[in-house]
């Protein structure tokens, strides 16, 4: 999931990157880096700026007709390609056929970028610009294109018709076709420093101490930290997680979804491995970790978590899944006894 930033003032590190990219020439950008660094926010900032009627060095003006049309999702020169699940989450309109198929329960909203949507985008790229400032195709997360969609995009990227710019944003750029990566100018997303992230989170209404805990729990990724805050989980409980898992306390994660539990256990496993190697833990304080845990146990647990990650979106009984995950964690964490 990703938070939307349309209409809201973007964080300072997104503004700085927008300014940098607007000062460079290029018709196709690939914004890449791990989740939580604002790929979607930066892609939207570029799209708004490219189509803005009064663009400045920092990006779009936010008040012209073009900026308003993007805010209300009706800009004729912006084509947004996302999995339908994310389109619906972020209130982007689907094509009439896709919307009616989903409404009539003929199929579920897709989790990948569909070939039909890509074909519509190719057709869009060949049209004349409606507002006279060129056209933009935004693809996010770009790694959700399947092979057919990616190949359809590749042809358009190689020989763009008329004045069309592309911005692809990805949280797993290594999954993209090398030919797509080579057709784009790459931009590695910047990690904001802790102080900047904390100040920004405070401006979003999160208390300073809580912001620090949330940033630690998400490895310093401010967007992920904001999503953690919105999930309703208590950030103060984060430091108690390792000991709770060692006790096999299922009630501790009762309100958590399977993806949230798997994510937290992955982080705990990572930090225990780092700690064993003499490195500084990243997501927890060393004092809160259980240990020492044999490396073989951690390695086996990490593999089991990777396996669980592959099936977490399939229908299952959430209570049983919680028990299984906490049981695995307890076994691994107590294997030194």
Alpha-carbon gap, residue 133 to 223, rounded angstroms:
31
The pLDDT value given to residue 1: 45
Q: Which two tokens stand for residue 234?
A: 């208590």
Q: In which residue are the tokens 């604002």 written?
A: 38
Instruction: Quick: pLDDT tens for 55-83.
Output: 998 899 999 999 999 999 999 999 999 99
Q: In which residue are the tokens 């990243």 written?
A: 282
Give the residue-averaged pLDDT of 196-200. Answer: 92
CA atoms within 13 A on the CB side of 174: 2
Alpha-carbon gap, residue 68 to 87, rounded angstroms:
19
Alpha-carbon gap, residue 266 to 261, rounded angstroms:
9
Distance linking the first and last C-alpha atoms of the chain: 39
The pLDDT value given to residue 2: 54
With cut-offs at 50, 70 and 90, classify the pLDDT of residue 316. Answer: low
Peptide bond into 141 cis (omega under 30): yes
With cut-offs at 50, 70 and 90, classify the pLDDT of residue 159. Answer: confident
Give the residue-averaged pLDDT of 213-220. Answer: 90
Are 140 and 1 spatial neighbours (Cβ–Cβ below 8 Å)?
no
Alpha-carbon gap, residue 18 to 28, rounded angstroms:
14
Are 112 and 86 spatial neighbours (Cβ–Cβ below 8 Å)?
no
Instruction: Quick: pLDDT tens for 284-306.
Output: 988 888 778 888 888 999 999 98
The pLDDT value given to residue 68: 94
Q: What are φ and ψ of residue 45, in 5° steps?
A: -65, -40
The pLDDT value given to residue 61: 92
Give the residue-averaged pLDDT of 89-104. Answer: 87
Pick left, alpha or beta for residue 161 (phi over 0 → left; psi -120 to 50 → alpha; otherwise beta): beta
Task: Please provide the average confidence, as pLDDT, over all residues in the chain.
Answer: 88
The pLDDT value given to residue 98: 86
Alpha-carbon gap, residue 327 to 198, rounded angstroms:
35
Alpha-carbon gap, residue 158 to 151, rounded angstroms:
11
Give the residue-averaged pLDDT of 141-149. Answer: 90
Domain ranges (residues) in the chain: 12-188, 194-230, 234-333
Instruction: Quick: pLDDT tens for 217-260.
Output: 998 888 888 888 888 888 888 889 999 999 999 999 888 888 88
The pLDDT value given to residue 131: 87
Give the residue-averaged pLDDT of 17-23. Answer: 94
With cut-offs at 50, 70 and 90, classify the pLDDT of residue 51. Answer: very high
DSSP labels, 184-211 = SEEEEPPPPPHHHHHHHHHHTT--HHHH
Q: Is 3.40.50.300 the CATH number for 12-188?
A: yes
Give the residue-averaged pLDDT of 152-180. Answer: 87
pLDDT at 157 exceeding the cut of 50: yes
How many other C-beta atoms can be found within 10 angstroms of the C-beta atom of residue 16?
15
Helix (H) or strand (E) holding 288: none
The pLDDT value given to residue 315: 52
């Amino acid at each position: 999931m990703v938070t939307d930033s349309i209409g809201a003032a973007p964080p300072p590190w997104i503004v700085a990157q927008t300014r940098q990219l607007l000062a460079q020439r290029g018709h196709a950008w690939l914004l890449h880096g791990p989740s939580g660094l604002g790929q979607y926010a930066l892609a939207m900032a570029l799209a708004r700026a490219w189509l803005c009627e009064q663009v400045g060095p920092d990006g779009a003006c936010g008040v012209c007709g073009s900026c308003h049309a993007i805010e209300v999702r009706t800009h004729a020169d912006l084509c947004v390609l996302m999995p339908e699940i994310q389109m619906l989450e972020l209130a982007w309109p689907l094509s009439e056929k896709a919307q009616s198929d989903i409404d009539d329960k003929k199929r579920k909203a897709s989790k990948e970028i569909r070939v039909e949507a890509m074909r519509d985008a190719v057709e869009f790229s060949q049209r004349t610009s409606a507002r006279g400032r060129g056209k933009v195709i935004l693809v996010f997360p770009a790694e959700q294109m399947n092979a057919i969609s990616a190949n359809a995009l590749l042809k358009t990227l190689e020989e763009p018709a008329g004045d069309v710019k592309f911005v692809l944003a990805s949280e797993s750029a290594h999954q993209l076709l090398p030919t797509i990566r080579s057709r784009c100018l790459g931009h590695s997303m910047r990690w904001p420093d802790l102080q900047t992230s904390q100040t920004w989170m405070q401006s979003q209404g999160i208390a300073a101490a809580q912001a620090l805990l949330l940033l630690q729990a998400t490895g310093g990724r401010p967007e992920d930290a904001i999503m953690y805050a919105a999930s309703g989980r208590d950030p103060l409980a984060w430091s108690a997680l390792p000991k709770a898992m060692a006790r096999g306390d299922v009630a501790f994660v009762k309100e958590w979804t399977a993806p949230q539990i798997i994510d937290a256990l992955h982080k705990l496993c990572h930090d225990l491995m780092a700690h064993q190697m003499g490195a500084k833990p990243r997501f927890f304080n060393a004092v809160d970790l259980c240990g020492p845990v044999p490396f073989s146990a951690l390695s086996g647990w990490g593999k089991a978590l990777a396996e669980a990650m592959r099936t977490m979106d399939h229908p299952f009984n959430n209570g049983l899944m919680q028990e299984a995950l906490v049981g695995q964690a307890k076994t691994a964490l107590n294997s030194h006894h």
